[in-house]
Chains A and B, each alone.
Chain A
């Protein structure tokens, strides 16, 4: 089934520049319904208010980290099926394994390029 390019995508990062980079890359890929949150708590509030087709989140944020957001999403009956990609500078194997165990769909280590982002979104959502 083709990916619905109008589905809402939530980008979570505490650095506005990184949100802007991801937003531009997603726009280039054809996604145009993009929302943003500056940390896990704000992201969770937005997710409880509306349904997102994909969450792309940083790890290292306060007051709620991306890892905590992932755990909360997977623990929620209504949110647990949301595709979740982590984009982070946390590159230790223990981080990747912890995220995988918590239910992340894919993991991108910073710095990354457009091709990597496109590849991971395809791996999670299917071809578009």
Chain B
């Protein structure tokens, strides 16, 4: 039952109590004399009074609370709808995942090409300089071609960033509108292992401790 329906029902119950009381008064006034019936009528009268007192005590502040809850629920429904969770789940995240897979694949392919060319050059025979130069030139061209992956991966990564920003905006808006705060969560086994094994991963903008500082620790 919605808050608005609850308020409507409360008003109806109050008027119903009034009607019951009027009905009992009418019955009493009609001259009924059998004692049990009179007692029933008296009890009913008391009950109607009690109902009237109870429903009358539901003052305007409670009605206001119901209205606030009703508005909040409506707002939450609007925010959930605005979150476009299905679009994020069915389209945006799978799309971003495919882009990242392609980035990994393109990078691996380019690395493989560049390394193979470099290894080939290291093993090339420089005895005949003319042939050697032709081999080097051809290998260098293939390395340049392989480096074109950077343009594609840059575009793919930008699409993933756009998706993450979209999700971030929606979630922030949702959390802000509903006043959501983070609660403490149990640490997962994977997170605990990462913490125990000091698995921090690469630092942003280069190593957090330079090779020179590390060397100083081993000096």
Contacts and interface: CB of A to CB of B under 8 A. Distances in A.
Interface of A: 17, 20-21, 24, 28, 59-60, 65, 67-68, 89-98, 100, 106-110, 112, 116, 123
A101 to B, nearest CB: 11
Contacts of B199: 59-60, 65, 90
B211 A68 contact: no
A106 B218 CA distance: 7
Contacts of A65: 197, 199
B208 to A, nearest CB: 5
Given A60-B201, A92-B203, A109 B217 contact: no
Contacts of B214: 91, 96, 107-109
B198 A17 contact: no
Contact of B200 (A24, A92, A107): A92
Interface string B88-121: 0000000000000000000010011001001100
The 6 closest A-B pairs by CB, nearest first: A91-B207, A89-B202, A109-B207, A91-B208, A91-B209, A65-B197
Contact of B198 (A28, A98, A107, A108): A98
B61 to A, nearest CB: 56
B200 A110 contact: no
A107 B217 CA distance: 10
Nearest to A67: B197
Given A67-B198, A89-B207, A109-B211, 10 more contacts: A17-B108, A24-B118, A24-B119, A65-B199, A91-B203, A92-B200, A93-B209, A93-B213, A94-B198, A96-B217
24 contacts: A28-B122, A60-B201, A65-B197, A65-B199, A67-B197, A68-B197, A90-B198, A91-B202, A91-B207, A91-B209, A92-B200, A92-B203, A94-B198, A95-B198, A97-B217, A98-B198, A100-B218, A106-B218, A107-B218, A108-B211, A108-B214, A109-B207, A109-B209, A110-B207
A93 B211 contact: no
A28 to B, nearest CB: 8
B200 A20 contact: no
A90 B217 contact: no
Given A24-B119, A108-B211, A92 B217 contact: no
Contacts of B108: 17
Nearest to B198: A95
Given A17-B115, A20-B115, A97-B217, A116 B211 contact: yes
Contacts of A123: 218
Nearest to B190: A62
- Point out which of B119, B197, B199 has the most chain A C-beta atoms below 10 A from its C-beta: B197
Nearest to A100: B217
Nearest to B108: A17
Contacts of A116: 211
A99 to B, nearest CB: 9
A110 B198 contact: no
A98 B210 CA distance: 16
Contact of B201 (A28, A68, A90, A97): A90
Interface in B162-209: 197-203, 207-209
A51 to B, nearest CB: 25
